[in-house]
Structure 1
Amino acid sequence: MKQEKITPVLSLLTATQKTHLYQSNKQFKQVISEAIDSLNMGDDPDIAMVRLAPFLDQYLISNPCQELIDLQLYLLKDTNKYRGIINLTGWFH
């Protein structure tokens, strides 16, 4: 089950590695690379997507490209679940 969720996320993240933004923006490159590494180690894809959400919003405004839009749309499919996770983690910080 977990692998079924990791595969599409990895595919979308890998697609972002081919963008100009990934090649030119050091912070974006680091965020995407960390997410990919995390998923390759078997971490929960939901957590990876929650960590990516603020960065995606920021980069979608300044550098919209189809790969980021696709990643954002994937994230939005489970918005309520992610929102719950984000709110829950906020209580602990």
Structure 2
Amino acid sequence: MKPDTTTAMHQLIRQIRAATPFDLAEARICDGPCNGCSLKLLDYLESELEGWQARLDQGVRPNFGDLSQLADSGRKIHRILQRNGLLDSAPTDPT
């Protein structure tokens, strides 16, 4: 049985957090080639995750579009972070 959208959103948030290096030092993030501002992308993704966590805590139920949008953002940002050399060489898709 597939999880409801609330459970799926919680799982997606956990997966994105596990695959994304939010704890990197700014000096490391802004060192080397830059194909999209990794710092701004990490800030954006963090705010999206925090926003969804707050909405879930308030009882808001996400729809499939919300899940899809967050998953797409996580995937795109993950690819950019890989290109910028901020992730391990092993491909880990956040979704």
Asked whether 1:60 is paired with 2:87, we answer no
User: Higher relative contact order at CA 8 Å, sep ≥6: structure 1 or structure 2?
Assistant: 2
Q: Structure 2: where are the runs of 5+ without partners?
A: 30-38, 57-61
SS of equivalent residue, structure 2 residue 74: helix
Bigger proportion of residues as helix: 1
Contact 1:31/1:52, CA 8 A, preserved across alignment: no
RMSD over equivalenced CA pairs, Å: 2.8
Count, aligned residues: 70
Contact 2:13/2:49, CA 8 A, preserved across alignment: yes
Provide closer, same or farther for how the CA distance between residues 57 and 47 of structure 1 changes in structure 2, counting only shifts above 3 A: same
Contact 1:10/1:36, CA 8 A, preserved across alignment: yes
Task: Return the offset for 1:2.
Answer: 0.7
Q: Highest Rg: 1 or 2?
A: 2
Q: TM-score, normalised by structure 1?
A: 0.53
Task: Return the offset for 1:11.
Answer: 1.0
Identity across the alignment (%): 6
Q: Structure 1: where are the runs of 5+ without partners?
A: 75-93
Q: How does 1:4-83 map to 2 (within 5 A)?
A: 4-15=7-18, 16=20, 19-20=23-24, 23-24=25-26, 25=29, 26-40=39-53, 41-42=55-56, 43=62, 44-62=66-84, 63-65=86-88, 69-71=92-94, 74=95
